[in-house]
Amino acid sequence: MRLCHHLHLAYCTNVHRGETWPETFGALQTHTLAVRERVCPRHPFAIGLRLSHQAAAGLSDPSALSAFRRWLDENDCYVFTINGFPYGQFHGTRVKEQVYQPDWTTPERLDYTCRLFDILAKILPAGLAGSVSTLPGSFKPFLRSQAQEKQIRDHLWRCVEQVARLSEQTGRLLHLGLEPEPLCLFENSRETIRFFEELRAEHPKDDRLNTCLGVNYDTCHFAVEFEEPRDALGALTGAGIRISKIHLSSALKIRSAPSVWSPAFTRPPEAGTPNRHGLNARPKLELEALREFDDEVYLHQVVIRDANGQLRFFRDLADALAAPDARARTQDPAEWRIHFHVPLHATPASPFENTNDHLLGVLDVLAANPGLCPYLEMETYTWEVLPPEFKARNIVEQLAAEYDWTLARLRERGLASR
């Protein structure tokens, strides 16, 4: 949907099952139109489209693509972005680290991403820039040599060249958004800047790196890394990196409570506040409570910050819980942040919290500079694996509630009309 200051807001359809184009289109007809009717029935409605490699192959058929364009027009919908991060099946099976395969060391990832741009160029409305979001190169544990990293840069450069050619041929402004994520090749602002510097050193004074390549800023991912919005966004833009898209998403966090709160923590529990541990009780970090979020489908990287500000990284929540000193660490002042996308509108029950403060910090930066990035996308893809207390509503109601919450926060900052 169109907001103030030429901003656009969508939700990412990776929340719905669908690996073939008929399955994906069926989800759009069943769920997306129902959300649109609840949220934006009388105005153009933006769709953050997720296409697997199978779905992209199906939609590339000229007749299928022509039919989809007609459907978009008939329903007053438009697409400004495609999620090209998950290549294969994304629901109902073990995804985990396989979400990063094939990675950017492979021609399969390059071919798939270029196909997504071919599709986007044909459905993108005139006057809008269009993006495809993708993984940040690879997963760190997959990489064994500098030659692999060089291969990643080479494939990305070939994609940039193709995006630039397609932009010139079609008159559409297109760009690829690399999405930093915990434990990937570049996972924070510092590593991202270093990666862009390496690309620029290999292709000096080539402006295509600035116009056709950027960063997809996921508020969940940067929060898990304990970055501050103003610092991270300031560092990225200060390095001349385009913010391709802003993912509005929230991570799970949980804190153990020391007897004296360290300045490293953002907020101590208020005195006299009752919780399930009793009045004035300060809960220890509960391993059993965390196990509820340890599913067998998605990878949930964990970053733990101790009272001294030191960070410790774990590949998955199961690894953090199984660590020999896990229980001992729960007795010490610490904050755990877990890469588990939780609904934006739902406040987790004690002892859990979310990282909406990071998301709101990003919106504060955007309110001060609306030209930073005009493209916003809500992404809470974990519907099927959420604990029961998060699923009191059906998926359409859930998405409508996320829109309500997000639009209210945008209105508070003058970024959406009242």
How far apart are the C-alpha atoms of 309 and 171, rounded to whole Å? 48
Residue 270 clears pLDDT 60, i.e. is over it:
no
Whether the Cβ atoms of residue 233 and residue 243 lie closer than 8 Å to each other: yes
Largest distance between two CA atoms of the chain: 66
Percent of the chain with pLDDT strictly greater than 90: 84
Digit-coded pLDDT (tens) for 203-241? 999 999 999 999 999 999 999 999 999 999 999 999 999
What's the pLDDT at 6?
Answer: 96
Q: Give residue for tokens 């509108």.
A: 345
Digit-coded pLDDT (tens) for 341-367? 999 999 888 889 999 999 999 999 999
Core vs surface per residue 224-243: b (16+ CB within 10 A) or e: bbbbebeebbebbbeeebbb
How far apart are the C-alpha atoms of 212 and 214, rounded to whole Å? 7
How far apart are the C-alpha atoms of 310 and 315, rounded to whole Å? 17
Q: What is the mean pLDDT of residues 293-303?
A: 97
How far apart are the C-alpha atoms of 308 and 306, rounded to whole Å? 5
Domains observed in the chain: 4-251+352-412 (3.20.20.150), 253-342 (no CATH)
What's the pLDDT at 300?
Answer: 98
Phi and psi for 121 in degrees, rounded to 5? Answer: -60, -25
Tokens in use for 76?
Answer: 């007053």
Q: What is the DSSP letter of 283?
A: P
Digit-coded pLDDT (tens) for 66-106? 999 999 999 999 999 999 999 999 999 999 999 999 999 99
Q: What is the mean pLDDT of residues 123-135?
A: 97
* Alpha-helical runs (H) found in 302-394: 317-322, 326-330, 356-368
Q: What is the mean pLDDT of residues 315-323?
A: 94
Sign of dihedral through CA atoms 149, 152, 158, 164? negative
Digit-coded pLDDT (tens) for 374-416? 999 999 999 999 998 888 789 999 999 999 999 999 999 999 9
What's the pLDDT at 418?
Answer: 74
How far apart are the C-alpha atoms of 54 and 60, rounded to whole Å? 10
How far apart are the C-alpha atoms of 83 and 132, rounded to whole Å? 6
* Alpha-helical runs (H) found in 216-300: 219-224, 229-238, 287-291
Confidence label for 186 from pLDDT (cuts 50, 70 and 90): very high
Residue type, 203: H
Cβ burial, residue 304 (10 Å; 0-12/13-18/19+): buried
User: Is this prediction's pTM over 0.85?
Assistant: yes
